[in-house]
C-alpha cells in the first residue's frame, strides 16, 4: 500500500557548460525554483551543500520505541543544546564541548536518532554574536525534511501592513498578485484544511481536512462566541494523494511526524526532494549536485552581472565554479545573506546585490514561548481514543490589530495547539507521587490535556542583522555569520498579551488552566527566520524587486524567506514557495526575451 518509488538517477554535473540557471539550495525555495525553471524547459544546475540521504532508512517512521536500542535516542556522545545553554552562553555554542557532536535544540525532542543526520553538527557550523537558536539542516531538501507542516497564506493585512499601521514597509505585491501562485502550490503539493472564509487568513484549495479531538471541538465552539476561530491544522500534507506525483503517498494518519523532530517516510508531508526535485529531474532538465558548499556568487567583471557560483566539494574540499546565465540563491534566509555578503568584487564591494546596504538587515521571524496548558475534566478517565493520528492539531488565527488597535503592541499572533495524548503520556513526569494512584492518574488524565503555544510577528528593524565575522570560519574555511539581533519591546508586550488571551480562551471554554506561561523563548526558536534581503520598490532601501530579482544585478534572484518584507505571524513556507514560483516564471520569461 505504501509507496516505495526510488529517486531518479542523477546526471553528472558539467562544469564546462553554461547552465540556463544555477540554483543554490534545495529546500522549499530552491526545490520550487528547480521545478518551475525546468518546467519552462530551462537547463538547471541545483547545488546543495549537504548529502542526499535515504530518508526511508533515516526516518523509519513507524519504528516503535522499544524496537530501537536506545528507545529512539541518538547515541550518548551527541548533545542537543538546551534552552539554558542558549540563554547563559554566547555562540558558538559548541565551543569547548566535551561531546563528539552538538546539535541545535530540536535534537532534544523525541526520536533524536532519526534526525541526527538531518540537522547540522554545530561543531562544523559555528556562528558568533548575540544568542540565537539557529536550526539548520544540510541535506537534499533542507529543513523540509523535518518541517512542522503548518501551511498558511498571508493576506493584505500582511502585505500592506505599513498602510494599515504605519510601521515598516509594505510589500511590493498584494494578495491578488500572489493568490494564483498559492493556488498552484496547493494543487501541485497538496494541503489539508477546512474553509473558514477569513480575510486575514485566506483559504487554500484544500484536500481532505484532518479532524478535531473533543477538547478542540469544545474550544472551537466557545471561540465562535468571541468571534475567534479554531481551525484544524492547515497541513502541507497530501491527504487525498497526488495523481501527478509518483514519489508521494497520501497521509495515513500514522502520527509519525509528531513523534519525531518531523519527517515523513511516505512523503505525504511535503518535502522538497519528492515534491519538487525528483519530478524536476524526470523532465531531463535538472542536474543535481549535492555536497556542494557555495561560498561566492561569481561576477563577470566586464558586465558586473553574475557569472556563476563558486563552491567547495563538501567532502573533498576541492573548489569549483559552475556557470549560469542566471543565479538563483535559495540557501535559506541567513545562509543566502551570508552568500551575498561573501560575494565581494570590484563591481560589488559590499557584497553582490548590496548597494543598498540592506543585505543582512531587517532580519525578523516569529516570537515563541507563551503557552497555555489545560485539562478538560469531562475527559478524565474516558476510554482511550486515537488522538495523534494526524499531521497536526489546530490553529487559532490572529485576532489582534485587525480592526482593533492594541495600545501596547503592533501586529498579531496565532496559536498552534492540540488536545489529547500521543504515544507517551507527556505529563507523567509532572504528575506527583508514585505507586498505583500515580499510575492511574497518568492513565486517566492523558487524554484530557489540551495545550497551545503562540507564534507572534517580530517587527523588522534595520539594526536587527547578521554580518560576516571574518575571524571565525566553518569547517570548509568559509567565514561565518555574526548575529546582532534581539527581541524588542513590541515582542515582549505581545508575548504578555498571548498569555493573557490564551488563558481567557481556555477559561471561556470551561477548560481548567493548569499553566499559562508568558516567558519568551530564545531568539530563533520558531525556525522562521526572514527578511535579510527584502523586496521593495526602492533600490535604496531594498535588495530585491517584486520578482525577487536583485535591483543591482538583473540575472541574480534570491527566492527564499530572506526576500520577505515583514514576518506576518503565519508560518512562511507556503509563501516562500508561492513567491518563488511567481519569480521563476518571471525569470524564465525574461531569460527568453534576452533581458537577463
Partner 1 sequence: MKREDPAGLTRRDALKIAAGAALSVPALFTRAMAASATAPAAAASAPRFFTKEELALLDELAETIIPADGHSPGARAAKVAGYIDGRLAEAYLPVEADVQQRWRDGLRRVDVLSQEMNGAAFLAASSEKRVAVLTRMAASEKDPQTAEEKFFRELKATTILGYYTSEIGIHQEMEYKGNTLQQEYAGEEPT
Q: Which is nearer to partner 1, 154 or 373 (CB)?
A: 373
Q: Which is nearer to partner 1, 162 or 194 (CB)?
A: 194
Site for partner 1 in 537-596 (CB under 8 A): none
Residue 382 binds partner 1, judged by CB under 8 A: no
Q: C-beta of 381: minimal distance to partner 1 in Å?
A: 12
Q: Which is nearer to partner 1, 522 or 549 (CB)?
A: 522
Binding segment for partner 1 among 38-46, 316-324, 415-423, 556-564 (CB under 8 A)?
415-423
Residue 66 binds partner 1, judged by CB under 8 A: yes
Closest CA to 106 of 498, 564, 416, 521: 521
Q: C-beta of 560: minimal distance to partner 1 in Å?
A: 23
Q: Which is nearer to partner 1, 69 or 407 (CB)?
A: 69
SS3 annotation, 153-197: CCCHHHHCHHHHHCCCCCCCCCHHHHHHHHHHHHHHHCCECCCCC
Site for partner 1 in 185-244 (CB under 8 A): 194, 208-214, 216-217, 220, 230-233
Please name every residue paired with 373 in a beta bridge, in sequence order, or none if there are none. Answer: 451, 515
Cα 489 to chain centroid, rounded: 25
# of chain residues touching partner 1 (CB under 8 A)? 97
Binding segment for partner 1 among 17-25, 163-171, 306-314, 387-395 (CB under 8 A)?
387-395
Of the candidate residues 172, 273, 275, 393, the single one contacting partner 1 (CB under 8 A): 393
Of the candidate residues 10, 71, 89, 301, the single one contacting partner 1 (CB under 8 A): 71
Binding segment for partner 1 among 26-34, 35-43, 77-85, 456-464 (CB under 8 A)?
77-85
Residue 275 binds partner 1, judged by CB under 8 A: no
Q: Which is nearer to partner 1, 324 or 417 (CB)?
A: 417
Of the candidate residues 117, 204, 333, 371, the single one contacting partner 1 (CB under 8 A): 371
Q: Which is nearer to partner 1, 282 or 512 (CB)?
A: 512
Site for partner 1 in 497-526 (CB under 8 A): 515, 517, 519, 521, 525
Q: Which is nearer to partner 1, 416 or 457 (CB)?
A: 416
Residue 388 binds partner 1, judged by CB under 8 A: yes
Cα-based distances in Å from 191 to 185, 273, 391, 574: 9, 17, 11, 10
d(Cα 195, Cα 186) in Å, to the nearest integer? 14
Q: Which is nearer to partner 1, 452 or 466 (CB)?
A: 452
Contacts of residue 269, defined as CB under 8 A and 6 or more positions apart, other chains included, come to 147, 149, 235, 236, 237, 251, 257, 262, 263, 391
Q: What binding mask, one character per residue, do residues 237-256 give for partner 1 by CB under 8 A, x or -? A: ---------------xxxxx
CA atoms within 13 A on the CB side of 531: 29
SS3 annotation, 330-387: CCCHHHHHHHHHHCCCCCCCCCCCCCCCCCCCCCECEEEEEEEEEECHHHCCCCCCCC
Residue 86 binds partner 1, judged by CB under 8 A: no
Instruction: Give me the residue label for grid cell 514597509.
Output: 169
Show the cell assigned to 41: 524547459
Binding segment for partner 1 among 421-429, 459-467, 480-488, 554-562 (CB under 8 A)?
421-429
Closest CA to 310 of 324, 327, 298, 325: 298
Q: C-beta of 95: minimal distance to partner 1 in Å?
A: 16
Residue 355 binds partner 1, judged by CB under 8 A: no
Straight-line distance from the first to the last Cα atom of the chain, in angstroms, rounded to the nearest whole number: 47
Residue 75 binds partner 1, judged by CB under 8 A: yes
d(Cα 205, Cα 353) in Å, to the nearest integer? 36
Show the cell assigned to 318: 576541492
Of the candidate residues 4, 12, 96, 98, the single one contacting partner 1 (CB under 8 A): 98
Q: C-beta of 105: minimal distance to partner 1 in Å?
A: 7
d(Cα 52, Cα 290) in Å, to the nearest integer? 7
Q: Which is nearer to partner 1, 73 or 590 (CB)?
A: 73
Please name every residue paired with 476 in a beta bridge, in sequence order, or none if there are none. Answer: none
Residue 385 binds partner 1, judged by CB under 8 A: yes
Cα-based distances in Å from 41 to 14, 23, 251, 437, 555: 18, 15, 31, 67, 18
Q: Which is nearer to partner 1, 367 or 591 (CB)?
A: 367
Helices assigned H by DSSP within 389-508: 435-445, 489-508
Residue pair 4/248 in contact by the 8 Å Cβ criterion: no
Residue 99 binds partner 1, judged by CB under 8 A: yes
Of the candidate residues 9, 96, 243, 432, the single one contacting partner 1 (CB under 8 A): 432
Q: C-beta of 116: minimal distance to partner 1 in Å?
A: 11
Q: Which is nearer to partner 1, 203 or 300 (CB)?
A: 203
Q: Which is nearer to partner 1, 72 or 126 (CB)?
A: 72
Residue 450 binds partner 1, judged by CB under 8 A: yes
Binding segment for partner 1 among 153-161, 291-299, 450-458, 486-494 (CB under 8 A)?
450-458
Helix (H, G, I), strand (E, B) or coil at 319: strand
Binding segment for partner 1 among 294-302, 332-340, 429-437, 553-561 (CB under 8 A)?
429-437
The answer, yes or no, to whether the previous bond of 314 is cis (omega within 30 of 0) is: no
Question: Is the dihedral angle over the CA atoms 233, 237, 238, 240 positive or is it negative?
Answer: negative
d(Cα 146, Cα 143) in Å, to the nearest integer? 6
283-296 in b/e form (b: 16+ CB < 10 A) is: bebbbbbbbbbbbb
Contacts of residue 166, defined as CB under 8 A and 6 or more positions apart, other chains included, come to none
Helix (H, G, I), strand (E, B) or coil at 20: strand
Show the cell assigned to 399: 485576532
What strand order describes the sheet that includes 128-129?
Answer: 128-129, 479-484, 465-473
d(Cα 390, Cα 556) in Å, to the nearest integer? 40
Q: Which is nearer to partner 1, 389 or 479 (CB)?
A: 389
Q: C-beta of 123: minimal distance to partner 1 in Å?
A: 15
Q: Which is nearer to partner 1, 324 or 370 (CB)?
A: 370
Residue 434 binds partner 1, judged by CB under 8 A: yes
Show the cell assigned to 559: 527566492
Residue 166 binds partner 1, judged by CB under 8 A: no
Q: C-beta of 73: minimal distance to partner 1 in Å?
A: 5
Q: C-beta of 439: minimal distance to partner 1 in Å?
A: 5
Q: Which is nearer to partner 1, 195 or 408 (CB)?
A: 195
Amino acid at each position: 500500500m505504501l509507496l516505495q518509488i526510488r529517486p531518479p538517477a542523477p546526471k553528472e554535473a558539467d562544469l564546462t557548460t553554461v547552465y540556463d540557471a544555477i540554483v543554490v539550495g534545495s529546500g522549499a525555495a530552491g526545490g520550487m525554483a528547480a521545478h518551475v525553471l525546468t518546467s519552462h524547459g530551462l537547463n538547471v544546475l541545483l547545488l546543495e551543500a549537504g548529502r542526499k540521504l535515504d530518508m526511508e532508512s533515516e526516518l523509519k517512521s513507524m519504528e516503535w520505541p522499544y524496537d530501537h536500542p536506545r528507545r529512539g535516542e541518538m547515541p550518548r556522545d551527541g548533545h542537543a543544546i538546551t534552552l539554558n545553554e542558549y540563554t547563559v552562553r554566547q555562540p558558538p555554542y559548541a565551543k569547548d564541548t566535551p561531546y563528539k557532536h552538538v546539535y541545535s535544540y530540536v535534537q532534544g525532542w523525541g526520536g533524536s536518532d532519526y534526525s541526527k543526520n538531518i540537522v547540522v553538527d554545530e561543531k562544523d557550523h559555528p556562528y558568533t554574536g548575540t544568542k540565537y537558536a539557529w536550526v539548520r539542516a544540510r541535506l537534499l531538501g533542507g529543513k523540509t525534511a523535518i518541517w512542522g507542516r503548518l501551511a498558511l497564506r498571508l493576506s493584505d493585512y500582511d502585505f500592506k501592513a505599513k498602510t494599515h499601521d504605519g510601521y515598516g514597509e509594505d510589500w511590493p505585491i498584494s494578495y491578488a498578485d500572489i493568490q494564483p501562485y498559492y493556488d498552484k502550490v496547493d494543487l501541485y503539493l497538496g494541503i489539508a484544511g477546512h474553509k473558514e472564509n477569513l480575510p486575514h487568513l485566506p483559504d487554500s484549495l484544500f484536500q481532505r481536512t484532518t479532524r478535531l479531538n473533543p477538547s478542540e471541538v469544545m474550544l472551537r465552539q466557545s471561540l465562535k462566541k468571541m468571534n475567534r476561530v479554531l481551525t484544524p491544522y492547515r497541513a502541507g500534507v497530501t491527504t487525498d494523494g497526488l495523481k501527478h506525483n509518483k514519489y508521494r503517498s497520501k497521509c495515513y494518519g500514522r502520527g509519525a511526524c509528531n513523534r519525531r523532530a518531523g519527517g515523513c517516510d511516505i512523503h505525504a508531508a511535503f518535502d522538497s526532494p519528492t515534491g519538487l526535485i525528483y519530478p524536476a529531474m524526470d523532465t531531463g532538465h535538472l542536474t543535481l549536485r549535492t555536497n556542494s558548499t557555495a561560498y561566492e556568487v561569481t561576477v563577470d567583471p566586464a558586465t558586473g552581472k553574475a557569472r556563476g557560483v563558486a563552491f567547495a566539494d563538501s567532502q573533498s574540499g576541492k573548489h569549483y565554479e559552475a556557470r549560469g546565465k542566471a543565479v538563483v540563491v535559495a540557501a535559506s534566509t541567513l545562509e543566502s545573506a551570508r552568500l551575498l555578503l561573501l560575494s565581494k568584487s570590484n563591481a560589488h564591494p559590499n557584497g553582490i546585490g548590496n548597494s543598498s546596504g540592506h543585505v543582512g538587515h531587517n532580519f525578523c521571524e516569529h516570537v515563541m514561548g507563551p503557552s497555555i496548558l489545560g485539562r478538560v475534566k469531562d475527559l478524565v478517565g474516558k476510554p482511550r481514543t486515537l488522538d495523534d493520528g494526524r499531521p497536526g492539531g489546530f490553529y487559532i488565527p490572529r485576532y489582534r490589530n485587525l480592526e482593533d488597535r492594541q495600545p501596547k503592541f503592533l501586529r498579531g499572533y496565532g496559536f498552534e495547539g492540540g488536545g489529547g495524548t500521543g504515544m507517551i503520556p507527556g505529563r507523567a513526569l509532572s504528575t506527583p507521587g508514585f505507586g498505583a494512584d500515580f499510575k492511574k492518574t497518568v492513565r486517566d488524565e492523558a487524554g484530557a490535556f489540551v495545550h497551545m503555544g503562540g507564534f507572534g510577528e517580530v517587527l523588522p528593524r534595520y539594526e536587527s542583522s547578521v554580518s560576516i565575522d571574518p575571524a571565525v570560519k566553518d569547517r570548509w574555511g568559509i567565514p561565518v555569520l555574526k548575529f546582532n539581533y534581539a527581541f524588542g519591546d513590541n515582542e515582549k508586550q505581545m508575548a504578555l498579551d498571548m498569555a493573557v488571551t490564551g488563558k481567557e480562551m481556555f477559561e471561556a471554554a470551561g477548560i481548567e488552566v493548569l499553566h499559562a506561561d508568558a516567558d519568551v523563548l530564545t531568539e530563533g526558536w520558531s525556525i522562521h527566520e526572514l527578511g535579510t534581503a527584502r523586496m521593495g520598490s526602492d533600490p535604496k532601501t531594498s535588495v530585491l524587486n517584486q520578482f525577487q530579482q536583485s535591483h543591482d544585478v538583473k540575472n541574480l534572484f534570491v527566492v527564499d524567506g530572506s526576500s520577505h518584507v515583514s514576518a506576518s505571524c503565519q508560518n512562511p513556507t507556503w509563501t516562500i514557495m508561492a513567491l518563488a514560483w511567481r519569480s521563476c516564471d518571471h525569470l524564465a520569461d525574461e531569460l527568453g526575451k534576452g533581458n537577463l
